Structure 1
Amino acid sequence: MFQLVYISKAKKRHTELELAKMMNKFRQRNVANGITGLLLYDGRGTFIQLLEGKKEEVRALFEVISKDPRHERINKLHEQAVPERVFAHWKMGFKCLNSKKVCDDEGFSEFLTQDDKYAFLQSHPEFSVQLLCYFKTC
């Protein structure tokens, strides 16, 4: 089993309806390719996503994502082999973050108050997996 985490910036802010339509398509594609994971959206254009599945399938999906014109500054934060899936029953979990509420949660304000979230995550790559695992339980 293989995991990959990336962060990207949407070229425009998406409405909840737009995101719901996109997630429906993403989930169908992921089921067909045996991929699970979690996608977080901060409501202001930043996405962070963990993908997991067979290494070849995950890397192929990341290549597709990297060429998606809806976003830019797509940066791989972390990838690793893992003994088992963390999101085994999630076709693709999704959470749109209410930054004010989440910033009040102990342990996450340091990340969510950063002006440059990518720079923070690049210097703390293990935090990206921890962050996604936290939201799995919410």
Structure 2
Amino acid sequence: MNEPDVERAVVKTYVPAYQKDAWIEHADRLDMSQSEFVRTMVQAGRRDFAVDGFPEAADDTAAADREGTASSDAPEDDADDARGEFEDRVYALLREETRSWDDLLEAVTDDVEGRLEDALQSLQASNKVVYSGRNGGYEAVEE
């Protein structure tokens, strides 16, 4: 039987200072070290991704393929699909362990925070959005 390699290795990444500050604050609230926080968040994201097994852009088609149905453009069908996927996610979280309302809320909203962060980073990289310290938030860049 193969034993997992438990030797530790260093991983480096570079993030904007405001993001690191947010991670430090969040880690402090959870009484975690920065390393423990980042490791936990990465693993949580990998677990969520592994459940779906498909990139975000392919979610609708992939879900329809898994269910053996064709995806529909009807808004009510999209809402039903999203509700079903959300229920599946909540159920998967509860199968892992008993969770309080607050724990569940944090688990499902972390994904929203991650998606928002990814979107803002992408928009900043394409010079469509900038962070303005003077104005205290993100701004669209005029074309």
TM-score by structure 1 length?
0.27
Q: Which has the higher contact order (CA 8 A, sep 6+)?
A: 1
Which structure: greater helix fraction? 2
Larger radius of gyration: 2
